[in-house]
Amino acid sequence: MTDLADLYIQTVKAAILNDLYPEAEAERAHLLRVAEGAAAFDAAAFHSGATADQGVLAAIDQAHQGGRHMDGMLKFATIGASMVGRLRLDNLRFCLETALVDNVPGDFMECGVWRGGACAFAKAVLTAHGSDRAVWVADSFEGLPPPANAADTVDLQTSKYPMLAISEQRVRAIFERLGLLDDRVHFLKGWFSDTLKTAPVDTLAVLRLDGDYYDSTMDALQALYAKVSPGGFVIIDDYGALEPARRATHDYRDANAIIADIIDIDGIGAYWRV
């Protein structure tokens, strides 16, 4: 791969994570504190960039490493198109590029996409390598339902977390702005229990799951794992963060005698090679 291709991938990653202009995030964070009555607005400092001091910029950089806004998970307005963070995007790139180098057949698919940043990044990696493999974008595009399994220890339903309900139109817009929306990007709208079993996907080289709940993770594994080619990769985004996703992963692996080592990515995501 040429240096130009690597530069392209790195630039797309920075755009997806909102890393290109952290000063703007610092300015918006300052305005939020002003609106909350926690700070007084100083026009001279704001317009000179003094509100984006090195401490604030360092906090933003650290937060973006994990795909978060510096003020916490619930203030989504000023982060980019993904909560995956740098290390999990780097892992996605590694899996895709390894599959390409090793000629592992199949497409890329993510189940649970939020704003679609990880899928757009996967498309950018494939594009940089001249690959026409398809990218499958599977989501309800309505947020999450109430938890339905006794194993679920979190409740992320849309009524409580409306910021997780991102429309298909908005996800498509991310691809369009990056020049990555073409006929090799396919959207699967609906609950995983309804869409994945009959999804027109033949083979997968990389399968990335970000369903959060037990059933969402299990539904995706049951419907799609058999389509992952030998030598392909399965990534569980919240393996280290959400017990329901981790438990479903182990229940499926145990039931199907899967013994491949699970490799930690950043304390949150994990993956294994099929």
- pTM of the predicted protein model: 0.91
Strand 204-209 to 228-236 pairing: parallel
Give 236: exposed, middle or buried? Use CB within 10 Å, 0-12, 13-18, 19+: buried
pLDDT at 38: 84
pLDDT at 90: 98
Structure token pair of residue 53? 């001091």
pLDDT at 73: 44
Task: Report mean pLDDT in 10-residue bins for the chain, 274 residues.
Answer: 87 93 81 85 81 78 75 56 94 98 98 97 98 98 93 92 93 97 98 96 98 97 98 97 97 98 97 98
| Residue type at 47 in one-letter notation | H
Q: Please tell me the distance from the alpha carbon of residue 149 to that of residue 138, in angstroms, as a whole number.
A: 21
- Number of neighbouring beta carbons within 10 Å of residue 179: 11
Strand 228-236 to 185-189 pairing: unpaired
Q: Please tell me the distance from the alpha carbon of residue 263 to that of residue 94, in angstroms, as a whole number.
A: 13
